[in-house]
Amino acid sequence: MNKEQLKQISKEWHEAFGTDELKHNYDKYLHENFKADFFGGQQVNKADYIRQDQEFAKALGHNKIRVTEQVAEDNKVVSLMTWTATQIADLPGMPNTNKSFTVKGFAIDYFENGKVTKHFPLFDQFEMMKQLGMAPNKIVAHGNL
């Protein structure tokens, strides 16, 4: 597959987050040997990722991920995204707020035979928590104490 086709697959998959369409089409996007590496050090396989992805999506309403820019090289696609959603249920360690958020993030996806084999996502979770009212709006730098 060429770079543009890989970018399109990545875009479709990311923008489908939280939709019923994705719920029944993970196999269209994810390789059987899929692994997700989260920047906190957690790594999950395809089955665990799908389960966690669906649980997370259930706690969020009005989910909309928009891919705004992509770069592809060899078998890798980097996608810059904007994510807007409303928290409608508890998330792990985060009680429901019924508040909305808009944050930026990116993902690095590695492909094999037109499907994602490795996924490295990172969204601005601190900004999300601020908008949900779970973190201070202003952080005082050490030098400003």
- Which tens digits make up the pLDDT trace of 56-80? 899 999 999 999 999 999 999 999 9
Residue 12's φ and ψ, nearest 5 degrees, are -60, -45
Q: With bands split at pLDDT 50, 70 and 90, how would you rate the model's confidence at 11? A: very high
18 burial class (0-12, 13-18, 19+ CB within 10 angstroms)?
buried
pLDDT digits (tens, 9 = 90+) for 89-138: 998 888 999 999 999 999 999 999 999 999 999 999 999 999 999 887 76
The answer to whether the predicted template modeling score (pTM) of the entire model surpasses 0.95 is no
Domains of the chain: 3-135 (3.10.450.50)
Write down the residue that tokens 């389960």 correspond to: 51
Predicted pLDDT at 142: 59
Average pLDDT, the chain: 92
Predicted pLDDT at 15: 96
Distances in Å between the alpha carbon of 45 and those of 17, 31, 57, 73, 123?
Answer: 18, 10, 18, 24, 20
Cβ–Cβ contacts within 10 Å for residue 50, how many?
A: 18
